[in-house]
Amino acid sequence: MATKFETRYTCNPTDFKSYDTSRIRKDFLIKKVMIAGEINLTYTHFDRYIAGGAVPTKKSLHLETIDPLRANYFLERRELGIINVGGKGTVKVGRKSYTLKYKEALYIGRGNKKVVFSSDNPKKPAHFYLNSAPAHKEYPTKKITGKDAEIVEMGSMDTSNERTIRKLIVSSVVDVCQLQMGMTELKRGSVWNTMPAHTHDRRMEIYFYFEVPEGQAISHFMGQTDETRHIWMHNEQAVISPEWSIHSGAGTCPYTFIWGMAGENLDYGDMDGCAIKDLR
């Protein structure tokens, strides 16, 4: 079986305040997302969200259902978003194949029984980053390139948070049930992402950091506005962000991260701002 998974449970924000470093990392950090020759998934009870990676090498990888879903196949009641952060690869959905280059995305709707991942060059394999959420309706599969993305420029060099947001799998670009995904790229000289910070009580979120050079790191901040915690993270690692938590970070160098979220609505701008002076 090439599809492996682990389960993470939800927690109360009051309880979270008592967590030490090891407990925070155990419950929220997804340390190994990309494993060669495997599909590796984390199923979280926060909005029943799934995040993980598929790294096909010499053999193709078939997306299999996992026990928590109690489903005949993985997408029986789910939708799936994919962004390739590795070498060129192909995703076969049913009988149709989609080639994904670096930073290209694919949305796959509910009801597709067969999803297969392969790499063009096993020595430079694709690293397919996967996000999945429950779906109530079938929508067509669609590839999204950089040209298709909705682009927003934010921040400034003065506040060390100049960045480009590329909305890839969002309702303004592709029909979806609740899944949203995109990328934020930090400009050189900037280190802060999602600052000023915010929460959105209607949606949970997962961040996946990549393009982090060897020897560099990201300090990701989470928790309620008045009592935050941090997790030190490295390349191709992900972190779960509950709906009550801020999700922000600062790196020791420029980097890129993929944000994925699901929950009550599809309003990207539905946020509860957290003033910098109120952070504790």
Each residue's pLDDT tens digit, 8-64: 999 999 999 999 999 999 999 999 999 999 999 999 999 999 999 999 999 999 999
Summarize the confidence of residues 226-251 as an average pLDDT: 97
246, two tokens: 């801020």
Predicted confidence at residue 267, as pLDDT, reads: 86
Percentage of the chain with pLDDT > 90? 96
Tell me what percent of the residues of the chain surpass a pLDDT of 70: 100
Residue 185 class from Cβ within 10 Å (0-12 exposed, 13-18 middle, 19+ buried)? middle
* Residue 1: band (very low, low, confident or very high) from pLDDT cuts 50, 70, 90: low
CATH of the domain at 205: 2.60.120.10
Greatest CA separation found in the chain?
54
Number of domains, the chain = 1
- Name the residue range of residue 106's domain: 3-278
Looking at residues 178-199, what average pLDDT do you find? 95
Cis peptide before 254 (omega within 30 of 0): no
Q: Which pTM value belongs to this model?
A: 0.96
Look at the block and give the residue holding tokens 């996992």. 66
- Distance between CA atoms of residues 29 and 8, nearest Å: 10
**pLDDT digit string (tens) for 86-138?**
999 999 999 999 999 999 999 999 999 999 999 999 999 999 999 999 999 99
Burial letters 108-146, b for 16+ CB under 10 A, else e: bbbbbeebbbbbeeeeebbbbbbbbbbbeeebebbebee
pLDDT band at 2; cut points 50, 70, 90: confident
